[in-house]
A = this chain, B = another copy of it.
Amino acid sequence: MEADLIAWLRRTLPPHPLLKLGAGDDAAALALGQGHDCLVTTDIITDHIDFKLDETTADRIGRKALAVNLSDIAAMAGEPVAAVIGLVLPRQGGFELAQGIFNGILPLAEEYGVAIAGGDTNSWDGPLVVSVTLIGRAVGNPLRRDGARPGDKIIVTGNFGGSILGRHFDFTPRVSEALLLNKRYQLHAGMDVSDGLSLDLSRLCAASGCGARVELAKVPISDDARRLADQLADSTTPLDHALSDGEDFELLLAVPPDDARRMLEEQPLDVQLTCIGEFVAEAGLRQVDDRGNVSPLTPRGYQHSL
């Protein structure tokens, strides 16, 4: 990483108990502790695709770049430990932009106990690129996608849809929530909803070799989804937004029935837990409307194209 930026970061960064060697050497060294597997996830976000630099502030971009990775570690029910940051900066005003990005990264990193362990910067004539790789450590068994079984309840945190109105920048990564749930209840599988509730549910089903039945009336619809449906005034309903909008970053869990019942009664989190249906043996998604009619549910959401 560029010398001035490293110097500024070194003055700014607090010490971290697991970081033995931080930014400024050839690599960082982390003491993850005995018995903890190392978790690693990466996201690369770009101007015009994941944010618009001319319509938002650098700190919100930095916050998002770290937050999406925190959500991935949460989806494994892991503890985040340290991040490395790759930046490709426009030549004009690059240093100030980098500082702005870090001004969004650092408070969130501190809140979640994440050490900034290093990074790399480059400058060019192209648009801004922010790459964050987050190292975590497993606590107990990582929460994988491939463990859902027929009969498991589909449990989600929070509300869905309309994050484009702003929540995709300032959402709460469900790290402590996932740690608590994974400690207190039996969870068969889980992931974070990043590309759309129905699409990500179909992925969890595919990984687990099962299907799912969603009770439409139970899907928690965010106020943003209602506002967005009002604003767009097309045929898309708030429920459609809840099922297909991306970037909710809520947890989607497969929970055996007894634990699901207990979890819903106890509501141990600050955020609401909701059962939206159950996993079934037959592949594919089905929806149940409020009259009990069952029909196919087409997975929709953000499809990453190449």
A residues near B (Cβ < 8 Å) are: 1-5, 20-21, 24-32, 34-35, 37-46, 48-50, 72-73, 75-76, 78, 82, 84-89, 91, 94-95, 98, 117-127, 129, 131, 133-136, 138, 142, 144-146, 191-192, 207, 304-306
How near does chain B come to A124, taking the closest CB pair, in angstroms? 5
Query: A24: which B residues are within 8 A, CB to CB?
Result: 145, 207
Q: Are A43 and B133 closer than 8 Å at their CB atoms?
A: no
| Pairs A–B under 8 Å by Cβ, sample size 30 | A2-B305, A3-B304, A24-B145, A25-B144, A25-B145, A25-B191, A26-B41, A26-B75, A26-B191, A26-B192, A27-B73, A29-B76, A29-B138, A30-B40, A32-B32, A32-B37, A40-B82, A40-B84, A40-B117, A40-B135, A42-B85, A44-B88, A44-B120, A44-B121, A46-B126, A48-B125, A50-B122, A94-B306, A131-B131, A133-B133
Q: Are A95 and B306 closer than 8 Å at their CB atoms?
A: yes
CA distance A118 to B49 in the complex (A): 21
- Interchain CB contact (< 8 A) of A123 among B73, B89, B135, B305: B305
How near does chain B come to A171, taking the closest CB pair, in angstroms? 15
Q: Are A39 and B44 closer than 8 Å at their CB atoms?
A: no
Q: Can you tell how many copies of this chain the complex includes? A: 2
Given contacts A26-B192, A41-B118, 10 further A-B contacts (CB under 8 A): A21-B144, A27-B41, A30-B40, A31-B38, A34-B34, A40-B133, A44-B121, A46-B122, A86-B131, A95-B306
Query: A5: which B residues are within 8 A, CB to CB?
Result: 306
CA distance A89 to B304 in the complex (A): 12
Q: Are B126 and A27 closer than 8 Å at their CB atoms?
A: no
CA distance A1 to B123 in the complex (A): 25
Q: Are A20 and B37 closer than 8 Å at their CB atoms?
A: yes
CA distance A306 to B2 in the complex (A): 7
Known contacts being A44-B88, A86-B131, A304-B121, is A29 close to B20, with CB within 8 Å?
A: no
Known contacts being A30-B37, A40-B135, A43-B86, is A48 close to B304, with CB within 8 Å?
A: no
CA distance A34 to B120 in the complex (A): 29
Query: A35: which B residues are within 8 A, CB to CB?
Result: 34
Q: Which of A121, A123, A131 lies at the interface centre, i.e. has the most chain B CB atoms within 10 A of its CB? A: A131
CA distance A4 to B304 in the complex (A): 10
CA distance A45 to B138 in the complex (A): 30
Query: A129: which B residues are within 8 A, CB to CB?
Result: 44, 46, 88, 129, 131
Q: Are A39 and B29 closer than 8 Å at their CB atoms?
A: yes
